[in-house]
Amino acid sequence: MTFLKTSSRPLRILLATGMAVLTLSACASNRASAPSPDYSGMPASQTQASLGELTARYKSNPRDKNIAIHYAAALRAVGQPKQAIAVLEAGIDSHPGDVDISVAYAKALTADGRFEQSLTVLDNVIRPEAPDWNALLVKGATLDQLGRNAEARQFYTQALTIAPGEASVEANLGLSYAMTNELGTAEQHLRRAVQMRGASSQIRQNLALIVGLQGRFDECRALYAAELPPDQVNNNMTYVRALLTQQNRWDVIAKG
């Protein structure tokens, strides 16, 4: 599964394994941490600007954990997962056993198609007695990309129990159902997600995609129009209509 970009490139489903926020209040039963940053839903110009700034900050202070995590996320957003992996491997050397940087590392591995290695990293940091919801989220996304959708949903459900109301978890649960062509259920979860804290443009665009794949083109266009400029709306609508003619559309989306 690859990332949906708000650019002129064709739209693709996003497994939202983290939101682009710097801080987040922790849930009562969860450790005090923020979800992993995600720059993939930004316009290309904004992503590049963020990458330039983070590159400079990382070069000046490569041992800063938060800078390394954000820098790696920006690298992934511009299609450089291998460089992101290298940044995070250096970060792990500086911060052994740190959950946040390990989860970010797992995300980078997943983005590079190294799914089994990602799962190993996550299994090493997920504590059964006090699991981290963001780690559970990333594990679910990785399992979804392996086609292990039923297993993935168990981890999303567990993450929602720990962190109820997190848009990224609810959205991923919906997209998991979309991957098995259960579009009505997918839409229900995505509609819940867009009402939750941390709901991003990419989640709203994924809702538009699921609505469009059910043939409700006027509603789909309206949802896209609230997020994107007209030329990108038209490109996305063309892509949605093309997907409806392909029997293997979920494989196309996953590989796109």
pLDDT of 48 reads: 87
Gap between the Cα atoms of 196 and 101, Å rounded: 25
Chain center to CA of 117: 18
Nearest to 72 by CA among 36, 120, 98, 124: 36
Q: Taking the model in full, what pTM does it have?
A: 0.82
pLDDT of 36 reads: 66
Domain boundaries of the chain, sorted by first residue: 44-255
Place 129 in a pLDDT band, splitting at 50, 70 and 90.
confident
Gap between the Cα atoms of 230 and 143, Å rounded: 35
Which has the minimum average pLDDT: 32-41, 55-64, 156-165, 218-227?
A: 32-41
Q: Report whether pLDDT(140) > 70.
A: yes
CATH numeric code, 44-255: 1.25.40.10
Gap between the Cα atoms of 92 and 95, Å rounded: 5
